[in-house]
Amino acid sequence: MGSDSLPPAAVQFCYEHLNGSCVKTPYSSGPRLVLYTVFGFGAVLAVFGNLLVMISILHFKQLHSPTNFLIASLACADFLVGATVMPFSTVRSVESCWYFGQSYCQLHSCFDVSFCYASIYHLCFISLDRYTAVTDPLVYPTRVTVSVSGMCIAFSWLFPVTYTFSLLASGANASGLEDLVSALTCVGGCQIAVNQSWVLVNFLIFFIPTLVMIIVYSKIFLIAQQQARKIEGMSSKSRRCSDSYKDRVAKRERKAAKTLGIAVLAFLISWLPYFLDSVIDAFLGFITPTYIYEILTWIAYYNSAMNPLIYAFFYPWFRKAIKLIVTGKVWRQNSSTINLFSR
């Protein structure tokens, strides 16, 4: 029997017994297992890795500093991505259907965008914090206080959440795209359309703090090189005690700036392709293939799992804190006063 006489494959729907259901294009069992494993691992790592960061900084008094409070708040944003965004996106990406209701579809999109913006504004304030610490490490403690850090944290949360929820709740993002939205709307789908005007605004909200971080970290590393050359050119015998102390403090601050600079670089590598594609897509009629969009989305999501790995690799105090948490020693009396910086 020739191949022309074979019956066509049956069309699958997200909801077989509902009119207007989206067409389902699931993966076969092998790729499904691989994708669930990869995406699920990312979600678990984002949740538990960032939870360890938050517990470490909030529990151990030695880590109570303005910079670390910003890092803990950043970890909270990444933790929420892992808890409220990635698990549901895993099912949507693998099954090609949204099974969690239209209300949570919009809420999920709000969480997705607002937590991303919260992350970048935290990173921006952290870069400014590091710049102050590197340029004048001895005056830094009086300039950057816990209250200043608190105001930065408040802005990093309030602005993204207010902007994102207002935009999507008002429907302004889809103004002028009514025909497209109508054509894409089906039961089991979860697509949020953003018109050209608002996609540019979204990109600017991402790009402005990104530009600030690039400029600030460029200055930080130039200053670090100058300080290193200056220290190498000085005879150790001719240094005064105060100079030696200042050099040690400056070296510590440069190391912290380098670690956080790597976190910023990882964020930009993860999110910049997604934002560039969003702008290009809006102006070219939303032509990005679904699989490309999914790849870019999951590269961005995986950033939420990367920061704890960066801290674990570069911060000995974080590795020690993890060991104390995992072994249950944090439940002991006075565990919050343990010295995490001892050799």
**pLDDT tens per residue across span 177-236:** 888 878 778 888 888 888 889 999 999 999 999 999 889 888 887 887 776 666 666 645
Tens digit of each residue's pLDDT (9 = 90 or more) over 85-102: 999 999 999 999 999 988
Please tell me the distance from the alpha carbon of residue 51 to that of residue 27, in angstroms, as a whole number: 32
For the four alpha carbons of 290, 291, 292 and 296, in that order, the dihedral sign comes to: positive
Is residue 268 very low, low, confident or very high in pLDDT (cuts 50, 70, 90)?
confident
Mean pLDDT value of segment 273-292: 89
pLDDT at residue 7 in the model? 44
Query: For position 5, what pLDDT does the model report?
Result: 46
Q: Select from 301, 294, 293, 291 the least CA-distant residue to 271.
A: 301
Q: Strand ranges (DSSP E) for the chain?
A: 12-13, 23-24
Q: In this predicted structure, what is the pLDDT of residue 233?
A: 61
Predicted local confidence at residue 296, as pLDDT:
93
Radius of gyration of the chain (CA): 24
The pTM (predicted TM-score) of the whole model is 0.87
Q: Domains of the chain by range and CATH?
A: 28-337 (1.20.1070.10)
As a whole number, mean pLDDT of residues 324-341 equals 89
| 35 band by pLDDT with thresholds 50, 70 and 90 | very high
Residue 133 confidence class, pLDDT cut points 50, 70, 90:
confident
Query: In the predicted model, what is the mean pLDDT of residues 1-19?
Result: 66
Which pLDDT value is given to residue 25?
84
State the pLDDT confidence band at 176, using cuts at 50, 70 and 90.
confident
CA–CA gap between residue 61 and residue 75 (Å, rounded)? 18
Q: How far apart are CA 321 and CA 325, in angstroms?
A: 6
* 79 in Cβ contact with 311 (< 8 Å): no
